[in-house]
Amino acid sequence: MQQGWTFPWLCALLLGLMMGLLVSGSEFKHHRYEDMVRALFAVQSECPYITRIYSIGRSVEGRHLYVLEFSDNPGIHEALEPEFKYVGNMHGNEVLGRELLIKFSQFLCEEYRAGNQRITRLIYDTRIHILPSMNPDGYEVAARQGPEFNGYLVGRGNAREIDLNRNFPDLNALMYYYEKTNGRNHHLPLPDNWEQQVEPETLAVIKWMQNYNFVLSANLHGGAVVANYPFDKSRDPRIRGRTTYAATADDKIFRKLARTYSYAHSWMHKGWNCGDFFDEGITNGASWYSLSKGMQDFNYLYTNCFEITLELSCDKFPPASALPREWLGNREALVSYLEQVHHGIKGMVYDENNNPISKAEISVAGINHDVTSGVDGDYFRLLLPGTYTVTASAPGYLPSTSTVTVGPAEAIQFHFYLKTAPKQNLKVKPHNGRKNLSSPKSPLKLGPR
């Protein structure tokens, strides 16, 4: 009897194992660190020509902070192709973002291989960077308790129990100071010794931002269901029981970005979630509660990147059985938000000899926040549909101003050509028998808090 069913049973077992290998990348489960790494490398193996895995650094306990990149030319920035990033699991015990980004990576690979034109075009026209876990050490602490017993704070911080979303240099204070003195409105300087003031994970992400000219980003959290946009830190001193809306110069575009995710999400836009109500499923961060040294404000004030924070689940550590529903609820929103990186205006900044100019400032009349061109001379400026007066300027060149009309579809491409400024013979008046070598006052420096 036993011999009669052994061979068919063995065949069925082998077939099941083979099928399991084929679909293992798509199953819904919680991924410990080693499982996450295997899942990412499995995607890279399945789609080797459009993906690359790289590490931006290590956690306190030495775990790599792996990023999975999607592009038609992995590892290369192509001029006029915007850089986009998703970051998950910044708080170790807020795990849904981690699982969604692993699944999203598998989804991009699978849909590309299936010939999905929407996904293929995104991969060809965008350089997509996915960091599923910014805090792998905190995750391991939370995962040891599991979904059933996980506390509200257990595993939230890194291995030193530091909240990484309160760990970035406080550029808001400097920005609010500059607002009163008509000071710089973008790429604000970092405080002295900032590298010694942040955690290894924070340091790795800041270096990452310095190495890539990101245009748009989202940071995936849990504990509520709402799309949260800058500023997170209030301009006013904290008063118990009072919240104050802290708008950026790009408040309208941030509201639109937040609504894009909320309305593409299956239930976020309905407003009532987790016992809270947020109109249209969006909120200004400071209007909700004031937060200092957060990552989304830092993106806006230090780089060209616009970032929002996505709170995606009432339960910080939902059971694995809830993951399929959460994926279906977020899948379209993840794609739709990514597509927003292709709106506004983009172009090159050249000199008279068609050489690209890096770090040229692109300013828009009426919006007091500038962006800069990248190393290759390309710039990206997210804008709502409308007509704008746009100026490109760079040291040693005459500024160039043009009127540009932005439509509701893809970004309008507009190039600037800057002429070399005529040299001026400036005479330095002597002062007390010596040349005046005094320099302008340096920007306000922020020490450790």
Active site residues: 311
CB 52: neighbour CB atoms within 10 A? 16
Environment class of 112 (CB within 10 Å of its CB; exposed 0-12, middle 13-18, buried 19+): buried
Cα–Cα distance measured from residue 326 to residue 99, given in angstroms and rounded to the nearest whole number: 10
Bridge-based pairing state of the strands 282-284 and 224-229: parallel
Residue 313, phi then psi, degrees to nearest 5: -155, 145
8 A C-beta contact, residue 345 and residue 412 = yes
**CA-based torsion, 116, 217, 89, 268: positive or negative:** negative
| HSE value, Cβ hemisphere, 13 Å, CA-based, for 402 | 16
From residue 91, how far is each of 147, 167, 202, 246 by CA, in Å?
15, 12, 12, 24
Closest by CA position to 214, among listed 56, 417, 404:
56
The widest CA-to-CA distance across the chain, in whole angstroms, is 111
Instruction: Tell me how far apart the alpha carbons of residues 68 and 49 are, in angstroms, rounded to a whole number.
Output: 13
Positive or negative, the Cα torsion across 292, 314, 261, 33? positive
Q: What distance in Å separates the CA atoms of residue 177 and residue 182, rounded to the nearest whole number?
A: 9
Q: Which of 312, 300, 310 is nearest to 168 (CA)?
A: 300
Exposed/middle/buried for residue 167 (C-beta within 10 Å: 0-12, 13-18, 19+):
buried
C-alpha to C-alpha distances, 285 to 92, 289, 434, nearest whole angstrom? 21, 6, 52
CB 89 within 8 A of CB 95: yes
Beta-ladder partners of 390: 364, 402
The pair phi, psi for residue 59, each rounded to 5°, is -75, 180
DSSP 72-85: SSTT-PPTT--EEE
Tell me how far CA of residue 108 lies from CA of 50, 59, 100, in angstroms: 10, 27, 12
Token pair in block for residue 201: 């994970």
